[in-house]
Amino acid sequence: MTSSGVEASTSDSDGDADLAQLVEEVNRRLERGENVEEFLQRFPHDGPRMREMLPAMELLAALARDESQLERAAPSEFGETRSKATAACELQKLGDFRILREIGRGGMGVVYLAEQLSLNRPVALKILPLAAAIDSRQLQRFRNEVQAAALLQHQNIVPIYFVGSENGVHFYAMQYIDGCTLDDLVRQLGEEDCETIPLFSMARSPDGDSSDGRDVRDGSGSLGLSRSSSSVSRRYRYRRIAELFVQAADALDHAHRRGVLHRDVKPGNLMVDATGNLWIADFGLAKLESEVGVTVTGDVVGTLRYMSPEQSLAKRVVVDHRSDIYSLGATLYELLTLHPVFDGKDRQELFRQIAFEEPRSLRKTCPELPRELEIITLKTLEKNPEDRYETAKELAEDLRRYLAHLPISARRPTPIQRAVKWSRRHVGVAWTLAFAAATLSVALAIGATVVNESRRSVQAEKERAEQERILADYQRQEAVRQRNRARRNEYVSEMVAGQTQIENGNQAGLYVRLIDFLPLEGEDDVRVWEWYYLMSRCRPERFAIYGSNSPGAAWSPDGTLIGAPGAIWDVASRRCLHRFDTSFIG
Q: Summarize pLDDT for 375-429 with one digit per residue, the tens.
A: 999 999 999 999 999 999 999 999 999 999 999 998 876 666 555 555 555 556 6
> What is the rounded distance in angstroms from the CA atom of residue 369 to the CA atom of residue 437?
38
> What is the rounded distance in angstroms from the CA atom of residue 50 to the CA atom of residue 54?
6
CB 202 within 8 A of CB 276: yes
One of 66, 209, 264, 324 is an active-site residue; which one?
264
CATH code, 266: 1.10.510.10
What is the model's pLDDT at position 520? 73
What is the model's pLDDT at position 419? 58
Task: Please tell me what DSSP assigns to residue 172.
Answer: E
Kindly state whether residues 192 and 309 are assigned to the same domain: yes
Domains identified in the chain, total number:
4
Residue 279 lies in a domain: yes
Q: Where on the phi/psi map is residue 464: left (φ > 0), alpha (ψ -120 to 50), or beta?
A: alpha
SS (HEC) of 440-503: HHHHHHHHHHHHHHHHHHHHHHHHHHHHHHHHHHHHHHHHHHHHHHHHHHHHHHHHHHHHHHHH
Cα Rg for the chain, rounded, in angstroms?
A: 50
* Final residue in a domain of this structure, among 151, 176, 201: 176
CB 149 within 8 A of CB 281: no
| Strand order through the sheet with 561-564 | 554-555, 561-564, 567-570, 575-579
What is the model's pLDDT at position 273? 92
Kindly state whether residues 152 and 165 are assigned to the same domain: yes
Question: At 530, is the pLDDT very low, low, confident or very high (cuts 50, 70, 90)?
Answer: confident
Kindly state whether residues 491 and 582 are assigned to the same domain: no
Nearest to 26 by CA among 171, 131, 169: 131
What is the model's pLDDT at position 4? 34
Higher pLDDT among residues 111 and 429, named by residue: 111
What is the model's pLDDT at position 498? 81
Residue 192 lies in a domain: yes
Kindly state whether residues 201 and 315 are assigned to the same domain: yes
> What is the rounded distance in angstroms from the CA atom of residue 553 to the CA atom of residue 539?
8
| Strand order through the sheet with 179-181 | 179-181, 270-273, 278-280
CATH code, 121: 3.30.200.20
What is the model's pLDDT at position 389? 97
Nearest to 204 by CA among 179, 183, 225: 225
* Final residue in a domain of this structure, among 145, 176, 207: 176
Q: Answer yes or no: is pLDDT of 77 > 50.
A: no
Measured CA angle at 450 (ends 448, 453), to 5 deg: 105
What is the model's pLDDT at position 559? 63
Q: Give the percent of the chain with pLDDT over 70.
A: 67
Domain of residue 582: give its range: 540-586
Residue 158 lies in a domain: yes
Q: Answer yes or no: is pLDDT of 12 > 80.
A: no
Question: For residue 437, how many other CB atoms are within 10 A of its CB?
Answer: 11
- Total number of residues shown for the chain: 586
Q: Answer yes or no: is pLDDT of 535 > 70.
A: yes
Describe the crossing of helices 507-516 and 427-503 by its angle, rounded to 10 degrees: 170
Kindly state whether residues 213 and 310 are assigned to the same domain: yes
> What is the rounded distance in angstroms from the CA atom of residue 68 to the CA atom of residue 157?
31
Kindly state whether residues 193 and 138 are assigned to the same domain: no
What is the model's pLDDT at position 90? 46
What is the model's pLDDT at position 51? 66
Q: Is position 398 annotated as part of the catalytic site?
A: no
What is the model's pLDDT at position 242? 96
State mean pLDDT over 241-252.
97
* Final residue in a domain of this structure, among 141, 176, 211: 176
Q: Answer yes or no: is pLDDT of 11 > 50.
A: no
Main-chain dihedrals φ then ψ at residue 89, nearest 5 degrees: -60, -40
Average pLDDT of every residue of the chain: 76
Task: Please tell me what DSSP assigns to residue 540.
Answer: G
Q: Answer yes or no: is pLDDT of 189 > 70.
A: yes
Question: At 330, is the pLDDT very low, low, confident or very high (cuts 50, 70, 90)?
Answer: very high
What is the model's pLDDT at position 156? 96
Nearest to 270 by CA among 199, 218, 210: 199
Kindly state whether residues 165 and 257 are assigned to the same domain: no
Residue 420 lies in a domain: no
pLDDT digits (tens, 9 = 90+) for 339-358: 999 998 888 899 899 988 89
Question: At 526, is the pLDDT very low, low, confident or very high (cuts 50, 70, 90)?
Answer: confident
pLDDT digits (tens, 9 = 90+) for 452-495: 888 888 998 999 999 999 988 888 888 888 888 888 888 888 88
Residue 314 lies in a domain: yes
State mean pLDDT over 252-256.
96
Kindly state whether residues 524 and 549 are assigned to the same domain: no
> What is the rounded distance in angstroms from the CA atom of residue 467 to the CA atom of residue 458?
14
Q: Give the percent of the chain with pLDDT over 90.
A: 27
Residue 429 lies in a domain: no
Q: Which residues contact 520 (CB under 8 A, 6 or more apart)?
A: none
Kindly state whether residues 185 and 110 are assigned to the same domain: no
> What is the rounded distance in angstroms from the CA atom of residue 535 to the CA atom of residue 186?
100
Highest mean pLDDT (candidates 120-124, 146-150, 293-297, 453-457):
120-124
State mean pLDDT over 92-107.
86
Residue 35 lies in a domain: yes
Residue 112 lies in a domain: yes
Q: Which residues contact 579 (CB under 8 A, 6 or more apart)?
A: 566, 567
Kindly state whether residues 171 and 45 are assigned to the same domain: yes
Q: Which residues contact 291 (CB under 8 A, 6 or more apart)?
A: 144
What is the model's pLDDT at position 406? 95
> What is the rounded distance in angstroms from the CA atom of residue 466 to the CA atom of residue 472?
10
**Prediction pTM value:** 0.59
Question: At 182, is the pLDDT very low, low, confident or very high (cuts 50, 70, 90)?
Answer: very high
Kindly state whether residues 271 and 142 are assigned to the same domain: no
> What is the rounded distance in angstroms from the CA atom of residue 317 to the CA atom of residue 310?
8
Kindly state whether residues 67 and 166 are assigned to the same domain: yes
Provide DSSP, 86-135.
Answer: HHHHHT-EETTEEEEEEEEEETTEEEEEEEETTTTEEEEEEE--HHHHHS
Higher pLDDT among residues 292 and 160, named by residue: 160
